[in-house]
Amino acid sequence: MKELDDNTYNIISSIFSTSAGLLAVSTALMVFVPGFGQQAIKSAGKFSAESERRIYRILLGGFGLATFMFFLSTIFGLFGLLWPSIGMINALVAFLFLGIAALAVTAAYFMDRAVRAIK
């Protein structure tokens, strides 16, 4: 039983460090996106400026969702380090997966917008 507890603790520790690192990355993207959006809105025409605003609001919401999921995973990871259990691992993996999915989809959309802006 002791080996299972140590293994559970190691898994939670790994998930915690991964989610904390991804939280830092998504927070940095949350800081970067508004500046890039302002540049895109300034260079947009009169009629496309509102469309650009809407797109960058969606992007900011997507990065915000990813940041929130990583934040929850990090907070629950702290609790999981105190009270390791299989249920806590499942919750951490679910939050981490949702955060990674939100970050991947939003980053792909942001990359698409950035490539179009460069052309």
* Residue 101 lies in domain: 2-118
Summarize pLDDT for 74-99 with one digit per residue, the tens: 998 888 888 888 888 888 899 999 99
**In the chain, how many domains are there?**
1
Where residue 1 falls among pLDDT bands split at 50, 70, 90? very low
Average pLDDT over residues 87-115: 88
pTM listed for this prediction: 0.80
Answer whether residue 118 shows pLDDT above 90: no
Q: Is 18 helix (H, G, I), strand (E, B) or coil?
A: helix
3-state helix, strand, coil in the chain (%, to 5): 90, 0, 10
- Residue 95 is predicted with a pLDDT of 92
Average pLDDT over residues 6-21: 84
Summarize pLDDT for 23-63 with one digit per residue, the tens: 898 888 888 877 776 676 666 666 676 777 788 788 888 88
CB atoms within 10 A of CB 107: 17
